[in-house]
Chain A
Amino acid sequence: MTQVLIQGLMLSGLYALIAVGFTLIFSVGRVLNLAYGAYLMLGAYVYYYLVQSLHMPKIAGMVLAIAVGALAGWLKYKLLVKRLNGDAVAIEISTLILAVVLQSGVVLIFNDSSKILLPIVNGITRFDGVTITHNLLTASIMSWLILGGLLYFIRYTHMGRAIQAVSMDTKGAQISGVDTEQVNQLTWMISGALGAIAGVFFASYTQLSPSMWVTPLIIAVAVVIVGGIGSIVGSLIVAHIIGFMEISVSTFIGAELRGVFTMLLIIGVLVIMPKGLFGREEL
């Protein structure tokens, strides 16, 4: 039982970190960035290349990975999202195509065998018979810190409030003097950076492979759908629901079935209450 609790808590932290960048874009731009998983892949590969091939210090690798993620987010906004002019379906399809392009780009550079990313933080702790890797522990602590910081930024800073305003009503925000273009750019950059951090931790939790973007994308989608649009707290709660569900399912029922219940949850929630558990009244 302790094992389920601890593992569930840590996995949920990781999932929350994966999902939050996606939620942010979804609530501000109102577009589904299906290439979100590619940020995770990019971040993880950049970190892998810098730290494990060039033997740079881990901190430098992390910082550069975040920078690449932010740059990727910014470029995607400038080159793709802006041109398609808010057409949600077109963005959805073109980001899906982009994700496949990036995946093959990674195959081109790093070939398609999966690689092991060494733990970012070494060591393990035993607690009540449960083994906790410091790596996953750091990931979940980091995710709590980042989420806390983000929540503070969104709620209490000027820029954060502007982001919130744009997420509620773009035109209204414009009338009130918010530079929506700037807000959008910033949000896409933050989302890319968050994706890159999540990617490094996710890759060290599982492994590095060119198709690694699919699973986190689906987790992010699940969290956002079940949590509801525009609710960061909602996605946090749902990340925990999904994290604990997966751990419980793989402990008590069978590890093969862990994904099945997540999918059933997405389908069920969307069919029964399309606006999600904590979402705003819309759709």
Chain B
Amino acid sequence: MEKIFTTRSILLWILFAVVMCAIPFLAGKGFLRICIQAFFLAIYAMSWDVLSGRTGYVSFGHPFLVGIGTYATAILSYRFDMPLIASIPLGILATMIGGTILFLPALRIKETYFALVTLAFMELIYQLTQVVRPDLTGGTRGISGIESITTGAINNYYLSFGLMFIIAFSLWALMRTRLGNALSAIGMNEEAVKGCGINTTKLKLFAFLVSALVAGIGGAFSVHYFGSLAPRNLFDINFLFTIIVAALIGGSSTIIGPMIGALFLTFLLEYLRPWVPGTERFFIYGIVALLLYMYRPSGIYAIFWEVVDKFKGKNASSIKDSTSIQGVK
């Protein structure tokens, strides 16, 4: 088996952390705020990637998970005046329960059907939040004025980067263990994994719980950063689209890929703003995403390694590629 931590990879992680921690000394507050958004998106994308990129169970229900996390945290903190130290863990716990619910259909159905059920989950909770106990959920308007953890762009930058970094590093380490291998194997051929005498149900449940945990952390912390939530922004196909696209065009089932994807997309959206204000940006953004996905399904991360290898003069075929969803099939 491959060693989990090589000196080179640890050094790269440290370098990454140092560079990112230095950014607040160089950049303005506006830039930092964009970064914070990108970090939260990266957390969601990684959460999606652990589940869908690895196991091949494409989830269209990630807004459902993130939504549970944000709603639970926001309701506990805003309506019941709970301290943050209690509301955030409880919100994450609620998301993990949500992840277990989302897991139930995965016991019996696969591929496209699974994606559709999760889409139905998202629509269901969207409609429920507006109808059931609107005194708690705030109905269609949502909740605003939620307590924030720290103030100021720099503090929040470090907070969100810290979260993303810890999550990314833990997931990266986790995926290099036998457990991570087994999850990827499910994505390649679930029957074969079963045939090896491995309990795939337990593995899948594990993947769902990890995914929900990460989505819950992202949701719970982001609601305290943004200070408000609205059902239409949360349980929305556009939000789902952003998460999936970030993970896919970054490079799915790589952990680093979704991070790159999230940063790339968030900055693309922001830098398009001067030329195309308003929602039209999604048009360009969508076309870029569609073309990248169709022609380079293995994502930016793989393209990056191709370029690196070309510089080193290696054979292009030696790239660790084809781990994307398309490759898995």
Chain A residues with CB under 8 Å of chain B are: 31-32, 80, 83-84, 87-90, 92-94, 96-101, 103-105, 107-108, 112, 214, 218, 221-222, 225, 254, 256-257, 259-260, 263-264, 266-267, 270-271, 274, 283
Q: Which of A32, A83, A88, A96 has the most CB of B within 10 A?
A: A96
Q: How far is the CA of A213 from the CA of B31 in the complex (A)?
A: 35
Whether B289 contacts A105 by the Cβ 8 Å rule is no
B86 at the interface (CB under 8 A from A): no
For the complex formed, measure the closest distance between the CB of B259 and the CB atoms of chain A, giving whole angstroms: 19
For the complex formed, measure the closest distance between the CB of A123 and the CB atoms of chain B, giving whole angstroms: 33
Whether A104 contacts B113 by the Cβ 8 Å rule is no
- Cβ-neighbour of B119 out of A97, A107, A108, A218 (below 8 A): A218
Residues on A with C-beta less than 8 A from B128 are: 260
Whether A97 contacts B290 by the Cβ 8 Å rule is yes
Whether A100 contacts B241 by the Cβ 8 Å rule is yes
Q: How far is the CA of A260 from the CA of B121 in the complex (A)?
A: 10
- Cβ-neighbour of B237 out of A80, A100, A274 (below 8 A): A100
In the complex, per-residue mask of B59-75: 1 if CB is within 8 Å of any chain A CB, else 0: 01000000000000000
Whether A101 contacts B237 by the Cβ 8 Å rule is no
Whether B58 contacts A274 by the Cβ 8 Å rule is no
Whether B124 contacts A264 by the Cβ 8 Å rule is yes
Q: How far is the CA of A112 from the CA of B280 in the complex (A)?
A: 10
Whether B127 contacts A92 by the Cβ 8 Å rule is no
Q: How far is the CA of A271 from the CA of B326 in the complex (A)?
A: 26
Residues on A with C-beta less than 8 A from B120 are: 218, 221-222, 263, 266-267
For the complex formed, measure the closest distance between the CB of B277 and the CB atoms of chain A, giving whole angstroms: 12
Whether B116 contacts A97 by the Cβ 8 Å rule is no
Given contacts A84-B294, A101-B283, whether A89 and B124 have CB atoms under 8 Å apart is no
Residues on A with C-beta less than 8 A from B279 are: 104, 107, 112
Whether A88 contacts B111 by the Cβ 8 Å rule is yes
Residues on A with C-beta less than 8 A from B240 are: 96
- Cβ-neighbour of B117 out of A87, A257, A271 (below 8 A): A271
- Cβ-neighbour of A108 out of B56, B244, B245, B280 (below 8 A): B280
Q: How far is the CA of A32 from the CA of B294 in the complex (A)?
A: 16
Residues on B with C-beta less than 8 A from A90 are: 293, 297, 325-326, 329
Residues on A with C-beta less than 8 A from B241 are: 96-97, 100
B83 at the interface (CB under 8 A from A): no
- Cβ-neighbour of B131 out of A89, A92, A256 (below 8 A): A256
Whether B113 contacts A87 by the Cβ 8 Å rule is no
Please give me the residue from chain B that is nearest to A269 by CB atom: B117
B316 at the interface (CB under 8 A from A): no
Please give me the residue from chain B that is nearest to A273 by CB atom: B108
